[in-house]
Amino acid sequence: MRAIVVGFPKAGTTTVTKALESAGLVCAQWLHEGQPVGRLVHDGWFERGDPFAFFPGVDALTQMDICVPSAGLNHWPNLDIALLLAIRRLHPRCLFILNARPAPETAASMLRWQDMGERLREADIPGLPAGRGTEAELVAWIEAHHAALRQVFAADAAFLDLDIADPDAPRRLGAALGVEIRWWGTANANPP
């Protein structure tokens, strides 16, 4: 595995996916071969001792989270620091991409995206217990996760803190992976 996205949905996961695919990388975003990526990550970790065991031929996991409580799906390996540290031990060269945009923008986008706000409040998510999910609570949750990653992986050469709105983002992403990013823009934007 060359890279994983460790930030939040509605913070550029589809943009990063499309950018990496433009460089020829094979990405798994949200689903892989019809199965939730997050569940496959957890299955790989607990059943095989490697979170990437069920991703042969995949270069990047660009969205690992899935939150569909009505279907019994609630996986957030991107928010599990202990699991990320295990991945780092097993895969020291795997690039951790923190897809970041200002937390208020991410929270507002989450709340506007279909029924995501309702699903987030219903689920019990690392750092966001069931019943929480106001805009202010989402902002605090997002900021705390970003701060934790920046502290834990500050000295890690395979950690990329990527402001997706930065005009230099595609160059930095390509340089970190040694590829040419041929596309960059806004993908999967919320309707106005």
Task: Find how far residue 101's CA is from the centre of its chain.
Answer: 13
pLDDT of residue 187: 76
Assign 144 to helix, strand or coil. Answer: helix
Q: Is residue 121 part of a domain?
A: yes
User: pTM of the entire structure?
Assistant: 0.96
Whether 185 is in a domain gets the answer no
Share of the chain above pLDDT 70, in %: 97
pLDDT at 186 (0 to 100): 84
Nearest to 6 by CA among 128, 149, 129, 106: 149
DSSP 19-50: HHHHTT--EEESEETTEEHHHHHHHIIIIIS-
99 domain residue, yes or no: yes
| Domain annotation covers residue 11 | yes
Other beta carbons within 10 angstroms of residue 134's beta carbon come to: 12
Q: How far apart are CA 102 and CA 108, in angstroms?
A: 10
* Cα–Cα distance for residue pair 147/173, rounded to 1 Å: 20
- Count: domains in the chain: 1
At residue 85, the pLDDT reads 98
* Residue 126 lies inside a defined structural domain of this protein: yes
Examine residue 109 and state whether it is found in any structural domain, yes or no: yes
The low-confidence residues of the chain, meaning pLDDT below 70, are 189-192
Instruction: Give the CB-side neighbour count of residue 52, counting CA atoms within 13 A.
Output: 22
Could you tell me if residue 187 is inside a domain? no
Give the pLDDT of residue 191.
64
Is 182 part of a structural domain of the chain? no
Give the domain range for residue 125. 3-177
127 neighbors 79 (Cβ within 8 angstroms): yes
Domain harbouring 12, CATH code: 3.40.50.300
